[in-house]
């Protein structure tokens, strides 16, 4: 089987595949991601969009993996996606929102197999996994320190659980890799041949 193609520019997703010793190469898609609607459904649609865009440029039979991660905030009773903070003040605001509370992280995976010219690629997987994340109560010093690390940059929700952001988290329920950015447990259940 030819190497898996990762349809993502995310260094976290590439690092996950490298950690799991999955042979792959990267092809960054040029697509405009959706943002409106149910957060989990949007993540799945974005993952499919990325995978199909890359599959259209790959040789026939190539397996392409697209993914998208969103933070699902329901603190005001309505589920909405939280993206990446625009600046340090935005990151601090997100951390204060998570302090002493729970939120869900949804990572979607889409596996597409490229087809011949003029044919539609086949979608083998288009699902999301969610993990509950509980933050400990953060002091003003905690927030100032973490924002000062700069890890919040380009991170949905304003933190990186695989780095120093782990010091802010009290616990999780679900797949840790989902929070990092790729639903490994879901892929292992549904498409194990891609990870071997």
Distances (CA, A) of 56 to 34, 53, 122, 174: 19, 6, 11, 33
C-alpha 62/C-alpha 5 separation (Å) is 7
Residue-level pLDDT at 117:
78
Which residues are annotated as catalytic?
68
- Whether 1 has a pLDDT exceeding 70, the answer reads no
Q: Which of 32-36, 88-92, 97-101 has the lowest mean pLDDT?
A: 32-36
**Secondary structure letter of residue 56 according to DSSP:** T
Domain map (residue ranges) of the chain: 4-195
Phi and psi angles of residue 145, each rounded to the nearest 5 degrees, phi first: -60, -50
C-alpha 186/C-alpha 17 separation (Å) is 14
Nearest to 68 by CA among 23, 115, 9: 9
C-alpha 48/C-alpha 43 separation (Å) is 9
Nearest to 33 by CA among 8, 14, 56, 6: 8
Residue-level pLDDT at 129:
97
Other CB atoms closer than 10 Å to residue 176's CB: what's the count?
14
**Secondary structure letter of residue 121 according to DSSP:** P
Other CB atoms closer than 10 Å to residue 64's CB: what's the count?
26
Would you state the structure tokens that stand for residue 171, as one six-digit string? 């616990």
Query: Class for domain 4-195, per CATH?
Result: alpha beta
C-alpha 160/C-alpha 80 separation (Å) is 20
C-alpha 44/C-alpha 184 separation (Å) is 15
Average pLDDT over residues 3-23: 94
pLDDT digit string, tens, across residues 134-160: 999 999 999 999 999 999 998 989 999
- Whether 3 has a pLDDT exceeding 70, the answer reads yes
C-alpha 40/C-alpha 110 separation (Å) is 13
- Rounded to two decimals, what is the model's pTM? 0.91
Would you state the structure tokens that stand for residue 44, as one six-digit string? 């799945």
- Whether 118 has a pLDDT exceeding 80, the answer reads no
- Whether 52 has a pLDDT exceeding 70, the answer reads yes
C-alpha 177/C-alpha 1 separation (Å) is 25
Residues in Cβ contact with 41 at an 8 Å cutoff, skipping those fewer than 6 apart: none
pLDDT digit string, tens, across residues 53-88: 999 999 999 999 999 999 998 878 888 888 889 999
């Amino acid at each position: 089987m030819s190497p898996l193609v990762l349809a993502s520019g995310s260094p976290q997703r590439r690092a996950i595949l490298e950690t799991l010793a999955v042979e792959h190469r990267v092809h960054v898609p040029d697509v405009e991601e959706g943002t409106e609607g149910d957060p989990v459904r949007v993540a799945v649609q974005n993952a499919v969009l990325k995978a199909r865009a890359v599959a259209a440029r790959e040789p026939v039979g190539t397996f392409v993996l697209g993914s998208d991660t969103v933070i699902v905030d329901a603190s005001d009773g309505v589920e909405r996606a939280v993206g990446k903070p625009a600046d340090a003040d935005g990151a601090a605001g997100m951390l204060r929102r998570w302090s002493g509370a729970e939120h869900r992280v949804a990572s979607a995976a889409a596996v597409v197999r490229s087809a011949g010219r003029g044919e539609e690629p086949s979608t083998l997987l288009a699902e999301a996994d969610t993990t509950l994340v509980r933050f400990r109560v953060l002091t003003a010093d905690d927030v100032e320190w973490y924002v000062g690390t700069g890890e919040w940059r380009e991170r949905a929700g304003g933190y990186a659980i695989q780095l120093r952001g782990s010091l802010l988290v009290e616990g999780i329920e679900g797949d840790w890799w989902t929070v990092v950015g790729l639903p490994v447990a879901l892929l292992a259940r549904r498409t194990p041949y891609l990870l071997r």
